[in-house]
Amino acid sequence: MKKTLLFLVSALSAGCGGSGVAGLLTVEGEVTYDGKPVANAAILFIPEKGQSAYGVTDSRGHYMLTTRAPGDGALPGGYRVTVSAVVQEGGHAVDERGLEDTSRPERPVTIRRLVPEVYSDPNRSGLTAVVAPEKRKHDFALAPRS
């Protein structure tokens, strides 16, 4: 059994009351690794100051950023970007109802990274983006790195 885990960092800053954030721009793009779309990747846009934005890629590697409400976008400005995608393998099996079947022995849990760990570190990823009215699409073509 495989479970996809997303390690979304809750780096969203406090403040900004209400249900929306003024000035948000719709931001989307695609994440690929070694030329192939990365599904179920967590992507985080971290500003120097202010509110972070995040998204999760679909099966085609496409994402839309969220600040407060799904797909609402990000504030204009510069960002450091992280991408994390892992798969958990092992653990308890599940029964036909989707519940853990503890009557069977638990298999060792292993975590497999779908992209190198360096991309999940904002200080080492090397990924940046500038969100502006004329620049709302940001694609990230990741390559093998250590």
Entry pTM: 0.75
Decide if 18 is inside a domain.
no
Decide if 48 is inside a domain.
yes
Decide if 136 is inside a domain.
yes
Decide if 59 is inside a domain.
yes
Decide if 101 is inside a domain.
yes
Mean pLDDT, the chain, integer: 83
Dump pLDDT digits (tens) for 112-131. 899 999 999 999 999 999 99
What pLDDT score does 107 carry? 74
Dump pLDDT digits (tens) for 71-126. 999 999 999 999 999 887 777 666 667 677 677 777 777 888 999 999 999 999 99
Provide the token pair at 59: 């099966």
Decide if 77 is inside a domain.
yes
Decide if 16 is inside a domain.
no
pLDDT at residue 13 greater than cutoff 60: no
35: containing domain = 2-11+23-142
**Helix (H/G/I), strand (E/B), else coil: 119:** helix
How far is it, in rounded angstroms, from Cα 18 to Cα 16?
7
Q: Count other Cβ atoms within 10 Å, centred on residue 140.
A: 22
Contact 42, 6 (CB under 8 A): yes
Decide if 127 is inside a domain.
yes
What total number of domains does the chain contain? 1
Which 8-state DSSP code applies to residue 60? T
Buried b (16+ CB within 10 A) or exposed e, 40-62: bbbbbbbbeebbbbbbbbeeebb
Phi, psi for residue 120 in degrees, rounded to 5: -90, 0
CATH number for position 42: 2.60.40
